[in-house]
Structure 1
Amino acid sequence: MGSEAGKWMIVAGAFILLAGVAVYFFHDKLHWLGNLPGDLRIERENFRFYFPFTTMIIISLIINLVIRLFR
């Protein structure tokens, strides 16, 4: 593993840290995240299934745009 991989790991860690800080301090403002149309939620008497399909697509697009901006 070269120094370039180490730099990218540090950048990824900083991004995860910033995302965690944003969720910690602004959780009351982010209530829509995970409740978008297209997020699959099945709740039965003894069973719960949740798959945030639309939320994952939006987060993926945002991460992809950020990566393209840094290239």
Structure 2
Amino acid sequence: MQRLLIIFGVVLIGAGLVWPWLAKLPLGRLPGDIHIQRDGFDFYFPITSGLLVSAVVSLLIWLFRR
């Protein structure tokens, strides 16, 4: 459990350090992401971005387990 918490902490610190570059990625604005705006209503569902992030994380986990 301690090791897992340390790894999560390091990942969060790393993400915080590279946030200016991560914010420039087109995640959330990809074709296939649903964004509906109406008066008093805003709905956003990032289908394509979620699939892309899931595929990258799955690939990284698969590579680290080898």
Shorter chain as denominator, the TM-score bin is 0.7 to 0.9
1:12 is aligned with what amino acid? F
Segments ≥4 residues shifted beyond 6 Å: none
In the alignment, the residues of structure 2 paired with residue 53 and residue 20 of structure 1 have an alpha-carbon distance, to the nearest angstrom, of 24
1:40 counterpart = 2:25: no
Q: How does 1:1-71 map to 2 (within 5 A)?
A: 5-23=1-19, 25-26=20-21, 27=23, 29-30=24-25, 32-71=26-65
RMSD after superposition:
1.5
Give the TM-score normalised by structure 1. 0.74
> Structure 2, unaligned stretches of length 5 or more?
none
Local SS of the residue matching 1:36: coil
In the alignment, the residues of structure 2 paired with residue 17 and residue 53 of structure 1 have an alpha-carbon distance, to the nearest angstrom, of 27
> Structure 1, unaligned stretches of length 5 or more?
none
Give the TM-score normalised by structure 2. 0.79
Identical-pair percentage: 41
